[in-house]
């Protein structure tokens, strides 16, 4: 029997699912009555991992974000993966907003996550390895407690638990 157990915490997004969610949102946008005659759009740049929302006014921009987030939720993609930037003026009085897709954990967020785990007072060790955080313990129950604790926390990134050993 192993004397140490571990798992990795990562923050990953399936880009194919994101593309499918955006395509569904674009189809819904094309059929919605309240967007008839509007130049509102949802565009996805897969290379830069950015979604650009363009709307006539604040109301329609809010409706666009609701459509997009509903499609993300339906495809089981965490809405925490969307990092909305500030609204900006676009051409002819339109409003543009860019949402970046967070597809891996930055090092500062990894440090924040490790600190959050240490503050939980559970008897585990953490190691930061690039864009993942490894949690090590002598007891499997402690690891399961960490997972339950993190699921209850309001960490700003979507978390997945992998390589449970």
List domains and CATH numbers for the chain. 5-12+105-162 (3.30.70.860), 15-101 (3.30.70.990)
pLDDT per residue over 43-99, tens digit each? 999 989 999 999 988 899 999 999 999 999 999 998 988 999 989 987 888 899 999
Question: What secondary structure letter does DSSP report for 25?
Answer: H
Give the separation between CA 165 and CA 42, rounded to whole angstroms. 41
For the cut 70, the answer to whether the pLDDT of residue 2 exceeds it is no
Quick check: 54 and 40 in contact, CB under 8 A?
A: yes
Question: What secondary structure letter does DSSP report for 78?
Answer: -
For the cut 50, the answer to whether the pLDDT of residue 1 exceeds it is no
Overall average pLDDT of the 35-45 stretch? 89
Mean pLDDT rounded to a whole number for the chain? 88
Give the separation between CA 47 and CA 122, rounded to whole angstroms. 40
Percent composition of the chain: helix, strand, coil (DSSP 3-state, to 5): 40, 25, 30
Give 32's Cβ-side CA count (13 Å radius).
17
Alpha carbon separation from 39 to 5, 27, 35, 90 (Å, rounded): 54, 14, 8, 12
Indicate the pTM of the whole model.
Answer: 0.81
Give the residue among 66, 75, 67, 68 at the shortest CA–CA distance from 51.
Answer: 68
What is the model's pLDDT at position 51?
93
């Amino acid at each position: 029997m192993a004397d140490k157990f571990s798992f990795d915490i990562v923050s990953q997004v399936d880009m194919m699912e994101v593309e499918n969610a955006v395509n569904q949102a674009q189809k819904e946008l094309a059929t919605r009555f309240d967007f008839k005659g509007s130049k509102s759009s949802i565009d996805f740049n897969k290379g830069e991992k950015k979604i650009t929302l363009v709307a006539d006014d604040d109301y329609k921009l809010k409706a666009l974000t609701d459509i997009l987030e509903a499609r993300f939720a339906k495809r089981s993609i965490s809405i925490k993966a969307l990092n909305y930037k500030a609204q900006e003026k676009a051409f002819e009085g339109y409003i543009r907003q860019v949402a970046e897709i967070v597809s891996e954990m930055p090092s500062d967020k990894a440090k924040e996550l490790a600190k959050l785990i240490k503050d939980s007072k559970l008897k585990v060790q953490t190691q930061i390895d690039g864009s993942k955080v490894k949690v090590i313990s002598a007891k499997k129950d402690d690891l399961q407690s960490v997972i339950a604790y993190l699921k209850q926390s309001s960490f700003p990134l979507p978390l997945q638990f992998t390589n449970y050993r």
